[in-house]
A and B are shown apart, each in its own frame.
Chain A
């Protein structure tokens, strides 16, 4: 089993719709969690950290479920510019980040 698993997608989303997807992690000792966004042929960029209580940043909402060992990302009112690959990143220890395979989101007019 991979340490961090994501549905690769693609999720085809009509513009303005809501899309949500999860990421599961295997190491119960994982300490911090992030969602990164990666555009084609570019480096990943931090979208948001994921806190235990859940957090929201504009149209983006992240949740953490430690009992079931997954995190989620929800995007409301999808924009064309939200099309990207969303990487789930888990920091188990020592700042060594483990990446999920990424979930590809395609927002269409």
Chain B
């Protein structure tokens, strides 16, 4: 079963509204989660690193005031796309890394397909 759950799986919203996406690690604690964005026929691009209890770290070119990240607990990170515009339409995926010392594996949420109309 899924170890990282992302919700919603798809959302359609009007231009100018805000959308919140949740990412939960189900059976392990994740002090760090990652948010990616994927445009059609392109690779996953890291947007930001979400750190539990502290501010997120954003990649160059990603507006922190537009993509609000909150990582309030060890199992939940949220990404809020504020004042969404059609160009924000994309596939957003979160990831959490389970590091067991001898093995590190990244698990992905199911992704959220955002369409802004």
Contacts and interface: CB of A to CB of B under 8 A. Distances in A.
Contact of B97 (A42, A44, A95, A98): A95
Interface stretch (A11-19, A57-65, A69-77, A99-107): A99-107
A32 B104 contact: yes
Contacts of B99: 95
Interface residues of A, number: 21
A44 B32 contact: no
Contacts of B91: 41
B49 A89 contact: no
A50 interface: no
Nearest to B49: A96
B27 to A, nearest CB: 16
A97 B105 contact: no
A46 B44 contact: no
A89 B106 contact: yes
A43 B108 contact: yes
Interface of A: 32, 34, 41-46, 49, 87, 89, 91, 94-102
8 contacts: A32-B104, A43-B108, A49-B105, A87-B43, A95-B97, A95-B99, A99-B44, A101-B43
